[in-house]
Amino acid sequence: MARLLELASAVAAIVAAGFWFISANGEVPQMLAYWDGVPAKAQLDRWAAGFGGLSALFVAARLFLSR
């Protein structure tokens, strides 16, 4: 189980990094209030943050189970 959590954490971290690299590629949108929707770059950042958090949860679960 511990090995599976380590693998899941690594995969989630790689996916998060991929989303952040894609988001960072290109022009950064001006910071404004978006009433009609979220810009594509912000969506990519949201996904990257989600996968980064998922990776952290897997690491925490691994540490908790190793006790």
Q: State pLDDT tens for residues 1-35.
A: 888 999 999 999 999 999 999 888 866 666 666 67
pLDDT score of 44: 87
Instruction: Give residue 41's pLDDT.
Output: 78
What number is the average pLDDT over the span 40-59?
A: 91
Distance CA 54, CA 67 (A): 21
Distance CA 16, CA 43 (A): 12
Q: State both tokens at 33.
A: 């209030």
pLDDT the model gives residue 28: 60
